[in-house]
Chain A
Amino acid sequence: MTDTNLRTPLYGWHARHGARFVPFGGWEMPVQYTGILDEHRATRTAAGLFDVSHMGEATVSGAQAALFLDYVATNRVGDLAVGRARYTLLCAPGGGVVDDIIVYRTGPQSFLLCLNAGNTPGDIAWLSEQAKSFDCIFRNASADYAQLALQGPQAVEIAARVAPPAVHLADVPRFSFVEILLSGAPVLASRTGYTGEDGFEFYLRPDQAEPFADALLKVGADLGLKPCGLGARDSLRLEAGLPLYGHEISREISPLQAGLGWAVKLDKPGGFIGRDALAAEALAGPARRVVFFILDDRRVARADMVVSAGGKPAGKVLSGTVSPMINLPIGSALVERAALDSGAALTVNIRGSEVPLRLAKPPLHKSAK
């Protein structure tokens, strides 16, 4: 652990709750408290509380804020209603992914962006530069926010316990958000998440993060709420089939290869950065695809292991772990489309053995055998 890694406002809180720390994206973050398997299962059966304050935030405001965002984003932004959020990619001219983000429309001419932690400095620099051509103000707002995610079947019930009686958090639709007082603190509560479960992501002032986390743990204790670290965050999102930047999407893996074409609106008026390259790729069909899989084995597939089709190398594993719900290894892989189309049996090389790979549709813990 180096001193140069940043710490979130909850660092001391994590330590007091028995966290083990790892460096991640320039931050010293809790990887686990009671254990990844335990925390993952708690989130799927009750609820988990995650510190995601390492994520970056930015604000865009002004007459051309929507126009600017529609230019840099693959998805539609301009038609977002106030109080609504949307997932989108930011692409480079060649179609590679710069980052995947969530955009929140906080007002007629104002937006909040949530950026991946490791990409934040690059995103800020790149977006600032692009924003200069538009009548808008782009601001790095990361220092203004702590962020907590509350996810699981009991998450909404737990959140409701810290909400004022007049606010019905259960009525907030998925991908909508409200700005209210929770446990006495002004919070932007969005019905979004990165686990495949119901729940909220909370944006709040850094100095209010600890009391808020304490309040949630207290009211959620009898419902089984547990603090969860980045280890469980990763196994949950992989099991749910959600991409992680640097794995399923990157400068080398386009949204179309990653199966995220639904977030790419090629016919957006005015186009967007990367549009022409992606349109050409859509026409030809992506040459390789991200797929998700389950192994009927005990050995775990790990990133960079070679995937073969009919015994011939055809791709590689992108992410791999064990599903704590079905107790089988799961993962994602990048495979040549020709190999997928051929129907040849897929295998992954684990320490010299070719282990059969069963393609599956996420959520992987609910995928039929």
Chain B
Amino acid sequence: MSSIPDDLRYTKDHEWLKPAGDGTALVGITDYAQTSLGDIVYVELPKAGAKFEAGATFGVVESVKAASDLYMPVAAEVMEANSTLESMPELVNEVPYGAGWILRVKLADPAAVAKLLDAAAYAKLI
């Protein structure tokens, strides 16, 4: 069974977003996504300062078998990419909601987070 923490928001493209309450948030991919991808070998990350609209491609996750685009859940600016993934991309598989986080972002509009799927809605999707 796929893990879907209650305190996160989700997209139909299997990203999760965790607001910190101060206008920033963490972004990653879900347990369902990392299981489907298989062993992740590289994550192509954007630079700090890059801005993305909701739904825009912000990076790529390479698994052994295929490359998959990563989509920004809500409009945001990149504050920091998880540099540990450079040497340990497998963290995304092993701890997708913890040490395997992908981006820390500054939300363009914190209210937009409410439009994302909650855990129950995402569970119905997968």
Contact = CB atoms under 8 A, between A and B. Distances in A.
A36 B66 CA distance: 13
Given A36-B65, A302-B66, A351 B39 contact: no
Interface residues of A, number: 17
B39 A298 contact: no
Contact of B67 (A31, A35, A302, A324): A302
Interface string A323-334: 010010000000
Given A32-B38, A36-B39, A231 B65 contact: yes
A37 B64 contact: yes
A305 to B, nearest CB: 10
A158 interface: no
Contacts, number: 41
Interface string B83-108: 00000000001000000000000000
B41 interface: yes
Interface in B38-68: 38-39, 41-42, 44, 60, 62, 64-67
Interface string A297-313: 01110100000000000
Contact of B39 (A37, A299, A302): A37
Nearest to B89: A298
Contact of A36 (B60, B62, B64): B64
A343 B62 CA distance: 30
Q: Most B CB atoms within 10 A — which of A322, A324, A351? A: A322
B67 A322 contact: no
A322 B93 CA distance: 16
A235 B38 CA distance: 14
Contact of A235 (B44, B62, B64): B64
A322 B64 contact: yes
A300 B39 contact: no
Nearest to B60: A351
Contacts of A36: 38-39, 64-65
B25 to A, nearest CB: 26
B38 A300 contact: no
Interface in A324-348: 324, 327
A247 to B, nearest CB: 14
A321 interface: yes
Given A299-B62, A321-B65, A351-B67, 5 more contacts: A35-B93, A299-B44, A322-B41, A322-B62, A324-B64
Interface of A: 31-32, 35-38, 231, 235, 298-300, 302, 321-322, 324, 327, 351
Interface of B: 38-39, 41-42, 44, 60, 62, 64-67, 93
16 contacts: A31-B65, A32-B38, A35-B38, A36-B38, A36-B64, A37-B64, A38-B39, A235-B64, A299-B44, A299-B62, A300-B67, A322-B41, A322-B42, A322-B62, A351-B60, A351-B67
